[in-house]
Amino acid sequence: MSYLLIILLIISTKILGKIGIHFGLSEVVGQLLAGVFLGASLLNLVQPTSTMHWIAETGVFLLMLNSGLESNLKEMKKYVKSSSLIAIMGVIVPMITFPVVFFLLSYSSVVSLFAGIVFSATSISITLAVLAEQKKLATAMGTIIVSAAILDDIIALLAVTIFSVFVGGGTLGISSLLPLMGFIIGMLLKKFNFSDNVVAVTTRVGNLFFYPVFFGSIGLGIDIQKLDGKVMPIIIFSILAILTKFSGSLFGARLSGLSREIANAIGAGMISRGEMALVIVQIGISANLINDITSAEFVVTVIISTIVAPIMMKPLFAKV
């Protein structure tokens, strides 16, 4: 019976993922909403199981493996100054702002600090799609954004791994280390000629089976009824998610000597949190750093930032 429910989850995430793309949203948003519809929030047809958790963990590993495999260090070196300043400022601003705001809203110090890590990450997939659509992926701006996003994610992965180990019980849990391990292995495999074949296989397998279960299972963990009274905090967090990453990345771009138009476009390109923030949220759940309600707040905020990001990107990219 549990396998039938997993199949139902996969089919639903595939359908809603395509619908999300059709309406100009990210496929990830559609997959998350599929889990919300099937879970306790609405239909209550599917509940998370241990098998589903194992599949989702494998999906996390494959996501990070592919991120490492697709990291082009040679291209990153060309714009190391700009991408480094953008990445550092894009991490520092949310990593300082979010803990302060969370603490003022009476969240625990652990949750407050963890929020800073979650929203310091950047999703590359949505930005890549918009860059490709406007034929700016191979430009200097495109390379800088991708390089800065990769650096952001390396910093966020290191931070959440260290944080979960020392705050989440002091043990090197596989759930905490798996994403970082996958990313490092991917970067190491990138040096070999067969890496393109590995990317092709892991992407196909991930998209077919593991990624839908991962994103869908996160949606299953959201119970809308329990978020009653959390609307205002979520609105505040969503505004912060957009403003902190935009302003931090824009400031870093200006510090590196880039023009105002390019800096604005880069700021918008760094807003989306998407899959990377969701991976970090999953690590927080596995390490018992956050509970179900808090994780749901994070996920809803990620969904909102993922929807808003391409809306801001398209006009700003067009000006460059």
SS3 string, 174-221, reads: HHHHHHHHHHHHHHHHCCCCCHHHHHHHHHHHHHHHHHHHHHHHHHHC
Residue 41 DSSP SS3: coil
Task: Give the domain CATH number at 147.
Answer: 1.20.1530.20
d(CA 133, CA 260): 22
Give how far Cα 303 sits from Cα of 237, 238, 248, Å.
12, 9, 20
Instruction: Note the pLDDT tens digit of each residue in 82-93.
Output: 999 999 999 999
d(CA 212, CA 203): 12
More confident: 191 or 175: 191
d(CA 58, CA 178): 9
- What is the reported pLDDT for 282? 85
Q: Which of 23-37, 61-75, 183-197, 283-297 has the lowest mean pLDDT?
A: 61-75
- Taking alpha carbons only, the member of 313, 256, 248 closest to residue 83 is 256
Question: Across residues 126-134, what is the average pLDDT?
Answer: 76
Give pairs for 300-303: CB < 8 Å, separation 24+.
Answer: 300/222, 300/227, 300/234, 301/119, 301/234, 301/237, 301/238, 301/241, 301/273, 302/118, 302/241, 302/273, 302/274, 302/277, 302/278, 303/29, 303/32, 303/33
Average model confidence (pLDDT) for the chain? 88
Domain that holds residue 256: 2-318
Q: Which of 66-75, 158-167, 184-193, 221-230 has the lowest mean pLDDT?
A: 66-75
- What is the reported pLDDT for 212? 93
Other beta carbons within 10 Å of 42:
13
Question: Across residues 6-35, what is the average pLDDT?
Answer: 89
More confident: 243 or 163: 243
Question: Across residues 281-285, what is the average pLDDT?
Answer: 87
Question: Across residues 129-138, what is the average pLDDT?
Answer: 76
Give the distance, in angstroms, between the CA of residue 293 and the centroid of all CA atoms in the same chain.
Answer: 19
Instruction: Note the pLDDT tens digit of each residue in 184-207.
Output: 898 889 888 888 899 899 989 999
- What is the reported pLDDT for 317? 87
Residue 53 has pLDDT above 80, yes or no: yes
The total number of structural domains that make up the chain: 1
| pTM summary value | 0.84
Residue 174 has pLDDT above 70, yes or no: no
Residue 318 has pLDDT above 70, yes or no: yes
Residue 208 has pLDDT above 80, yes or no: yes
Residue 1: pLDDT band (50, 70, 90) is low
Percent helix / strand / coil, the chain, rounded to 5: 80, 0, 20
Residue 172 has pLDDT above 60, yes or no: no
Residue 176: pLDDT band (50, 70, 90) is low
Residue 173 has pLDDT above 60, yes or no: no
Q: What percent of the chain has pLDDT over 90?
A: 44
Question: Across residues 300-314, what is the average pLDDT?
Answer: 88
Token pair belonging to 279: 């991976």
- Taking alpha carbons only, the member of 141, 99, 150, 143 closest to residue 121 is 150
- What is the reported pLDDT for 306? 84
